Chain A
């Protein structure tokens, strides 16, 4: 038996396996980078959907048996609306949730600190005197 031939063959196999392993690892890492981008966007989408709905959820939140926060805002009862809005955010997102609410350009409800890099949500609301006003929520 030619042992030189066996050693050489084993060496070639070894290098081949290492080469293939490196190729597979590189490919796997490349795929991972692409997948990471995609999963990152999915996370953002989920958070965005949740945050985008906040203003509508807030405006549809009941103030009492006949009225929502949106009704109160539209009718100019901003103090009541602010009080209930604070309740809404506190109960759903905790005490440290930062927000600023404004109606027709005037800020009427905010936390002690303003949110840094805020996401601004806009909604339009009809009022009893046939106007359309803008409600903003910065979170």
Chain B
């Protein structure tokens, strides 16, 4: 036996096979182990952090969608109160007390004054955008000061597209969210960048202003009594009422029946005034009901 061992017959191939296998496995072990050492946290944890960030981003987008819906409702009512103008081109009446459970003072924007059609060339879409932007931005500000915010949402960051049935806000800047996942080097930071844009299907009711515009065109050229003139106009989805502030100034309230903002209660009412000289016959047909102006404090 000792002689055989000394002669080393049979050892050559066996050692070669065992040696090569051992070297290969040791090499593979160190390679894999070295790769594992790069992860201070288990595999997949950083991806989970990205998932967390995406989830928080979705929460922000949900908040923005909801804010847009609420702001759209607010904008519809606010715009209607101002007669469709974000800044009335022909001025307003003095504040008048409105009858109701809680009497509130309202001003009426002039649509026709000194024989000029103040509504001509009015951009109701731009007016809506202005009011909507104010309301929406205010909700974003509220979110940013809220203690558990996920990320800062820039309020001056949108280009709006408003149509009769859609409001879209295209974000200019992105929101970037970061989370440190591992201590080691470059691999340690999870980043999620997204644009907080939104688009909501929403009936804005702006087309109603064009119907009112056409109706006012016919009202100012109508020679009959105001009530008869109103009876002649056909504006589906709009409910008209009026009163005389003085012998030449009519105050109109046009209810937008197709708008659905249920939490607001009543339907929005477009308020505007027309100053029009009337004939004696017209005055007799529609006796003036004076609404006393209240002094501005």
Tell me whether A and B are bound partners: yes
| Contact (Cβ within 8 A) B66 A23 | no
| Contact (Cβ within 8 A) B18 A56 | no
Report chain A residues within 8 Å CB of B45: 41
Q: Report the bound CA distance from A17 to B13 in whole Å.
A: 11
Report chain B residues within 8 Å CB of A9: 9-10, 14
| Contact (Cβ within 8 A) B10 A16 | no
Report chain A residues within 8 Å CB of B146: 124, 132
Query: Within 8 Å of chain B (Cβ to Cβ): is A113?
Result: no
The one of A16, A38, A123 in contact with B14, judged by C-beta atoms closer than 8 angstroms, is A16
Given contacts A45-B51, A126-B66, contact A53 B58 (CB under 8 A): yes
Q: Report the bound CA distance from A13 to B14 in whole Å.
A: 6
Q: A132: nearest residue on chain B (CB-CB)? A: B146
Q: Report the bound CA distance from A45 to B143 in whole Å.
A: 29
Among residues 9 to 49 in chain B, which have CB atoms less than 8 Å away from a CB atom of chain A?
A: 9-11, 13-15, 17-18, 21-22, 25, 28-29, 32, 36, 42-45, 47-48
B interface residues, tally (CB under 8 Å)? 46
Among residues 82 to 115 in chain B, which have CB atoms less than 8 Å away from a CB atom of chain A?
A: none
The one of B4, B63, B66 in contact with A5, judged by C-beta atoms closer than 8 angstroms, is B4
Query: Within 8 Å of chain A (Cβ to Cβ): is B267?
Result: no
Query: Within 8 Å of chain A (Cβ to Cβ): is B148?
Result: yes
| Contact (Cβ within 8 A) A123 B59 | yes
| Contact (Cβ within 8 A) B143 A20 | no
Query: Within 8 Å of chain A (Cβ to Cβ): is B55?
Result: yes
Per DSSP, chain A at the interface is helix
Report chain B residues within 8 Å CB of A45: 44, 47-48, 51
Given contacts A16-B14, A41-B44, contact A124 B63 (CB under 8 A): yes
| Contact (Cβ within 8 A) B58 A41 | no
Q: A11: nearest residue on chain B (CB-CB)? A: B10
Task: Tell which of B18, B45, B51, B73 has the most Cβ of chain A within 10 Å.
Answer: B18
Q: Report the bound CA distance from A44 to B200 in whole Å.
A: 34
| Contact (Cβ within 8 A) B29 A27 | yes
The one of A16, A24, A66 in contact with B260, judged by C-beta atoms closer than 8 angstroms, is A66
How many residue pairs at the A-B interface have CB separations less than 8 Å? 117
| Contact (Cβ within 8 A) B139 A126 | yes
Task: Tell which of B52, B58, B67 has the most Cβ of chain A within 10 Å.
Answer: B58
Q: Report the bound CA distance from A67 to B10 in whole Å.
A: 85
Query: Within 8 Å of chain B (Cβ to Cβ): is A49?
Result: yes
Report chain A residues within 8 Å CB of B59: 56, 122-124
Given contacts A5-B4, A31-B32, contact A130 B138 (CB under 8 A): yes
Q: Report the bound CA distance from A124 to B32 in whole Å.
A: 44
| Contact (Cβ within 8 A) B263 A128 | yes
Query: Within 8 Å of chain A (Cβ to Cβ): is B262?
Result: yes
Report chain A residues within 8 Å CB of B15: 16
Q: 18 A-B Cβ contacts within 8 A? A: A8-B1, A12-B10, A15-B14, A30-B29, A38-B44, A45-B44, A45-B48, A48-B48, A53-B55, A53-B58, A75-B262, A75-B263, A124-B148, A126-B139, A128-B70, A128-B263, A130-B138, A134-B148
16 additional contacts, CB 8 Å, given A5-B9, A31-B32, A70-B62? A5-B7, A12-B10, A16-B18, A24-B21, A34-B36, A38-B43, A41-B45, A41-B48, A45-B44, A45-B47, A75-B262, A123-B59, A128-B73, A130-B138, A132-B143, A134-B148
